[in-house]
Structure 1
């Protein structure tokens, strides 16, 4: 699955939609049901999320036979936040590793300096 990249506004909109969906499904009888949102052609943020693959457009047939375009959150939209958290954990792990390497290098340099000073004083 292709990884999507969102800016802060897009992330906030996706968070809002997911939280609304979770709140709606928690109050409904069917737990875990997905929500469909109305398609807003004049909303540039929704259009960006659709083009990035976080949202998908589908058509819903109304009882009177008309086609109603709706928007639903895709699996890429759901997994975006778990992937983002995984990337941040990996970045923190690498930063801790780098910090530890610099600390060990500094301690070794200090030890070498002290040994050099002691050897110099004895000679």
Structure 2
């Protein structure tokens, strides 16, 4: 899992860049090539994404410095969905364990009551 920790504004910017890249650089849903975005040193959000590792600034021979989405940036949202699905699965498992424990406790209580009633 990537170790990115993004706030809401950073997530929205990354999603916007990924959507733009998907819309302009893919054919039939498959990414054909990766987009390079202009480097804007005055953009705090872009700088934060570079510092977090979601974007990378690279030197281009023709255009100077450009920004590309890193593999951590590409995997951020799928990892977020996977982590949420795992959290929900664990919650369902815990709920089943609690319900099963309550059912077992009720069965033990009834068995104890019946044994106490008929043995005494």
Contact 2:2–2:76 (Cα < 8 Å) also in 1: no
Contact 1:36–1:71 (Cα < 8 Å) also in 2: yes
Contact 1:37–1:71 (Cα < 8 Å) also in 2: yes
Q: Using the alignment, how far apart are the partners of 2:21 and 2:2 within structure 1?
A: 23
Contact 2:53–2:70 (Cα < 8 Å) also in 1: yes
Equivalent residues, number: 117
* Unaligned ranges ≥5, structure 1: none
* Alignment of 1:11 onto 2:11: yes
* Unaligned ranges ≥5, structure 2: none
Q: Deviations over 1:59-107 (max 9, x none)?
A: 2233xxxx52211101111011222222222212211111111011000
Residue 95 of structure 2 corresponds to which residue in structure 1? 99
Give the structure-1-normalised TM-score.
0.84
Over the aligned positions, Cα root-mean-square deviation in angstroms equals: 2.0
Residue 59 of structure 2 corresponds to which residue in structure 1? 59
Q: Using the alignment, how far apart are the partners of 1:113 and 1:54 within structure 2?
A: 56
The structure 1 segments of at least 4 consecutive aligned residues displaced by more than 3 Å after TM superposition are none
Contact 2:2–2:79 (Cα < 8 Å) also in 1: no
